Amino acid sequence: MHTLRQYAAHAAVASTIAGSALAFPSSSSSAATPAGPAACNATSTWPGWSNIKYAFIFGDSYTQTGFNYSITPAPSQDNPLGNPPYPGWTSSNGPNWVDYLTTKYNASRLQTYNLAYGGATVDSDIVKPYAPTVLSMKDQVHSEFMPGYTNHGNSDTDTSETHPSAPNAPAWKGDDSLFIFWIGINDVGNSYYQPNSTDINAKTFEVYGDMVGILYNAGARNFAFLTVPPVDRSPLMTAQSSAAQAAEKADIAAFNGLVHSQVAADLKTAHPDMANIWVIDTQVPFNAVLDNAAAYPQTAALKNTTAYCADYGSPGMTPDTFKPECGVPVNQYFWLNSLHPTYPIHDVVAEEVSKALAAGPNICSSGNETNGASSGMSNMGAGF
């Protein structure tokens, strides 16, 4: 029996601290070609990672920090994530990848507007989240970003607004901003077992593409898409049958393939001379660490990569809380609970996102590869 994933949705924990890549299916578009890291010529709208001033982020509980776009403090150079106090309400018992990207691996005085919401799916009308109050990615774009940070109301054709409604909204431009998406964990988790999961994915990606198109029409030009990590290896799934694990793994692969073919490649095909696009494969660092904790310096201290300790489920813990009944401190577990990892892997993800951005876009239009770029189907997206 399957239930909607409440863990994927709600378990943003209030932190107490201060202050070879996956092979995707072939794209349906022949004009955009996959490439390895730093394989594409950037367009004039990419100023380089060191010159990006603003990041707008959309996602679920792996990404959420609890930012409320309608209140102050808003992000600023002195407080780059705005509200709530750093690191915010995360699901990692410490900073998450957005925190790290903004404050540790940033190459400029980056201001981050993180609209992610725990439990989000791409569209709640297609894949139901664990609660009706959850803001889907569509909601994050339509109901928050568009009215808050543009003068287009809740769509790219709505001109009813004369100015953005968010307090201290930045005067962002296409060539000084970056739009990042990490979504899909709940879409897969709440639908992989359905007999029509292929149709569900197709409908989901119609909306995903539409939301990206709305952002492009509003002025966005630089886009990064993170793939779904191997949550089929989470304790939530390893407690289930091997058939269920295999089914979810297959649906993750299908979803990630569509991130490339139905979102990234299609966007580049539609706007080859303007859009700069990254697909960043989170399967690589997750699998590497789950296989060998020492794969990255940030995760080398992990002692348990397969289970979690339920006694570490209460809010208000410090990042290195130790309870004797758990055997090792909480930050030496990979998994905080049955679906969410602790902060060390978030540190890795942020560093590798930063590296990919510094290297340049990796989704090319036809003929736009740099010298030596590979277009082999086994090298889609930035491998960590």
pLDDT for residue 156: 55
CA distance 81 to 70: 14
Answer yes or no: is 204 within a domain: yes
Answer yes or no: is 175 within a domain: yes
- Which residues, listed in sequence order, are joined to residue 114 by a DSSP beta bridge? 57
State residue 113 phi and psi, 5-degree precision.
-115, 95
- Say yes or no to pLDDT of 76 above 70: yes
pLDDT for residue 370: 57
Of the candidates 323, 332, 273, 277, which has an alpha carbon nearest to the alpha carbon of residue 299? 332
Answer yes or no: is 376 within a domain: no
Other beta carbons within 10 Å of 182: 25
The pair of structure tokens assigned to 334 is 């990979």
Would you say the C-alpha torsion 342, 295, 375, 252 has a positive or negative sign? negative
Answer yes or no: is 375 within a domain: no
pLDDT digits (tens, 9 = 90+) for 329-367: 999 999 999 999 999 999 999 999 999 999 999 999 876
Answer yes or no: is 148 within a domain: yes
pLDDT for residue 162: 66
CA distance 260 to 256: 7
The pair of structure tokens assigned to 270 is 């539609």
Q: Which domain holds residue 274?
A: 6-365
- Residue 47: give its domain's CATH number: 3.40.50.1110
Other beta carbons within 10 Å of 354: 18
CA distance 113 to 362: 24
- Say yes or no to pLDDT of 44 above 70: yes
Answer yes or no: is 1 within a domain: no
Do β-strands 177-182 and 222-226 pair in parallel, antiparallel, or remain unpaired? Answer: parallel
pLDDT digits (tens, 9 = 90+) for 252-283: 999 999 999 999 999 999 999 999 999 999 99
The pair of structure tokens assigned to 312 is 């570490």
- Give the distance, in angstroms, between the CA of residue 241 and the centroid of all CA atoms in the same chain: 28
- Say yes or no to pLDDT of 8 above 50: no
Domain count, the chain: 1
- End-to-end Cα distance, the chain: 35
pLDDT for residue 371: 44
Report whether 74 contacts 68 (CB < 8 A): no
Report whether 192 contacts 248 (CB < 8 A): yes
Looking up tokens 């879409």, which residue turns up? 187
The dihedral formed by the CA atoms of 302, 303, 308 and 309, expressed in degrees to the nearest 10: -110
Answer yes or no: is 100 within a domain: yes
Q: Is 371 exposed, middle or buried (0-12, 13-18, 19+ CB in 10 A)?
A: exposed
Looking up tokens 């993750």, which residue turns up? 252
- Give the distance, in angstroms, between the CA of residue 115 and the centroid of all CA atoms in the same chain: 11
Report whether 364 contacts 40 (CB < 8 A): yes
The predicted model gives 123-127 an average pLDDT of 98
The predicted model gives 182-192 an average pLDDT of 98
Q: What DSSP element (H or E) covers 255? A: helix 242-258
The residues, ordered by sequence, that sit 6+ positions from 225 with a Cβ below 8 Å of its Cβ are 180, 181, 182, 259, 263, 264, 277, 278, 279, 280
For the chain, the average pLDDT equals 88
Band the pLDDT of 32: cuts 50, 70, 90. low
Answer yes or no: is 187 within a domain: yes
Report whether 280 contacts 353 (CB < 8 A): yes
Q: Is 32 helix (H, G, I), strand (E, B) or coil?
A: strand
State residue 262 phi and psi, 5-degree precision.
-100, -10
CA distance 358 to 3: 40
pLDDT digits (tens, 9 = 90+) for 156-184: 555 565 689 999 999 999 999 999 999 99
- Say yes or no to pLDDT of 114 above 90: yes
pLDDT digits (tens, 9 = 90+) for 49-71: 999 999 999 999 999 999 999 99
